A = this chain, B = another copy of it.
Amino acid sequence: MKNVIVTGIPRADQPAVAELASLGVATVHEAQGRSGYLGPAIRPIQDGRRMGGTAVTALCWPGDNLMLHAAVEQCRPGDVLVVTTTSPCTDGLFGELLATSLAARGVAGIVIDAGVRDVSELRSMGFPVWSSAISAQGTVKQTPGAVNVPVAIRGQLIHPGDAIIADDDGVVCVPRADVAAVLDAARQRVAKEDRSRKALADGTLGLDLYGLRDKLAVLGVEYSEYRP
């Protein structure tokens, strides 16, 4: 790990990111070809929130949140702080005071593959958090790390400036260069899903709507009457 704080990163287009957020994580994930999802282990600490922003990344040592403080300074309004550790860690690297600082800078929220604490206070503040653990375990500020380097969370690569979308389904990352194309595909998908929803609500079966009956036959799936 190179101990570096990268400044002056580019950001994805904010209005486009905001619209992606309004479309939701599952739709965006599908619109970019079923990729970019950070996996089921990163969960919101609050229900019913949507968030979109551009990634400022921080890479910390386990049990140490020093680089989180360095990352705050790199954040602008509309950013999302994305944090991971060099090896698995559940400690509470983030809490109310850091949230206060981020909120003061207009940061949209945080995504962290580690623990958070002061959960009652964070919920009261309304500061949006997605994390892989809730833990009161405190941390030190002794070991260097990096800010605004590419990081990988649960198999998904994130570059600083990428779009980060989060809701009740978790978190998805859209590479900065793909935001416009993904937004276009997502809008089309929403329109298509609206039509599908109506058909399904009216009783049309997915088997017919998606043309799956032939596929079942081709794959050798047979129908047979129940025998006790």
Interface residues of A, Cβ cutoff 8 Å to B:
1-10, 24-26, 29-30, 33-35, 37, 39-40, 43, 47-48, 50, 61-64, 66, 69-70, 72-73, 84, 86-92, 95-98, 100-101, 103-105, 113, 115, 117-120, 123, 133-138, 140-145, 148, 150-157, 160, 167-170, 172, 193, 196-197, 200-203, 205-207, 210, 212, 215-216, 219-226, 228
Across-interface contacts of A97 in B (CB, < 8 A): 193, 196-197, 200, 206
Instruction: Please name the residue on chain B nearest to A67 by beta carbon.
Output: B221
Q: Note all chain B residues with C-beta closer than 8 A to A167.
A: 120
A62 touches which of B63, B73, B206 (Cβ 8 Å): B63
Contact of A156 among B152, B215, B219 (CB under 8 A): B152
A1 smallest CB distance to B (angstroms): 4
How distant is A223 from chain B, measured CB to nearest CB, in Å?
5
Tell me whether A96 and B157 are in contact (CB under 8 A): no
Q: Which residues of B contact A172 (CB under 8 A)?
A: 136
- Name which residue of chain B comes closest to A153, CB basis: B155
Known: A86-B34, A117-B26, A142-B140. A40 touches B134 (CB 8 A): yes
Q: State in angstroms the CA–CA spacing of A140 and B115 once bound together.
A: 21
The answer on a CB contact under 8 Å between B221 and A4 is yes
Those 3 A-B pairs whose CB atoms lie nearest each other, nearest first: A152-B152, A142-B142, A40-B135
Closest Cβ–Cβ distance, residue A102 to chain B (whole Å): 9
Known: A2-B33, A123-B168. 8 other contacts (CB 8 A): A5-B224, A26-B118, A40-B134, A63-B87, A70-B216, A87-B137, A103-B201, A119-B168
Closest B residue to A46 by CB, please name it.
Answer: B47
